[in-house]
Copies of this chain bind each other. A is one copy, B any other.
Amino acid sequence: MSFTPLIRQLIDALRILPGVGQKTAQRMALQLLERDRSGGLRLAEALRQAMEGVGYCRQCRTLSEDEICPQCSDPRRDDSLLCVVQSPLDVFAVDQTGFRGRYFVLKGHLSPLDGLGPEAIGVPELLERIAQGGFNEVILATNPTVEGEATAHYIAQLLLPKGLVVSRIAHGVPLGGELELVDGGTLAHALAGRKPLTL
C-alpha cells in the first residue's frame, strides 16, 4: 500500500522539520488527520503567517515581524552593553538568564571552507551598529566550538583597537553533574580560569 497522494504529500512536507524522519512524519500526519484536524489547520495558518510575515530586525538582525524587535525597542535596557550571538535562539537563551543589554545576531560563524567570510555572517553590519551606539562593552557570546571561538577571536581583533572593552563568555565546568564526566579541554579551561575565594 502507498498512502493516498494528499497524505503522502503531507508526510513528505513534514520531513523538512529537523529531526523528523519517515516514521515520525507518518505518525505525525496520521495523528493530525485522525485526532486533531483543527490543530492541523491552525498549524498550517501559523506556518503561512510566520513564513510570510517574519523578517529581520533592522538593528540587531534577529527574527522579528517588526522593523525593530522588542529587545531593540525596549527603553529599559542597558545601552552600554552589546551581546553578540550566532543565532536568534541564542538571543532567547541569553535573555532567559536575565541579561538586559542589547543584542546583535550574526548569521552563524566564520567558515572559510564553506565560503562564509566576515561579510557573509554580517561583521560589517556589526561594526556599523557599534559605530552608531554608545556601547562600553561588547560581549562575544558565539558558541564554545572551534568555529565560534575563531569568530569571536576575529571580531575581538577588529574591536580592541577601537578602545572598547571586549569580553568573551567564560569557559568552565557546567553546573550540575560530576567532574569526572567533564571533558579535558573544559576542565583545563576551568582550572586556568579559577577564581580566588574570599572571606
Q: Give residues in A with beta carbon < 8 Å to B.
A: 1-7, 9-10, 12-14, 16-19, 24, 26-34, 36-37, 39-54, 63-66, 69-71, 87-89, 91-92, 95-96
Nearest Cβ distance between residue A139 and chain B, in whole angstroms? 15
B41 touches A29 (CB 8 A): no
> Among the listed B34, B40, B88, which residue makes an inter-chain contact with A63, where contact means beta carbons less than 8 Å apart?
B34
**Cα separation A39 to B53 with both chains bound (whole Å):** 15
Q: Inside 8 A of A48's CB, which chain B residues have their CB?
A: 41, 44-45
> Among the listed B6, B49, B87, which residue makes an inter-chain contact with A50, where contact means beta carbons less than 8 Å apart?
B6
Known: A10-B47, A50-B33. A71 touches B1 (CB 8 A): yes
Known: A43-B14, A50-B10. A26 touches B89 (CB 8 A): yes
Known: A24-B19, A34-B87. A4 touches B44 (CB 8 A): no
> Among the listed B16, B29, B36, B69, which residue makes an inter-chain contact with A4, where contact means beta carbons less than 8 Å apart?
B69
B47 touches A32 (CB 8 A): yes
Nearest Cβ distance between residue A133 and chain B, in whole angstroms? 18
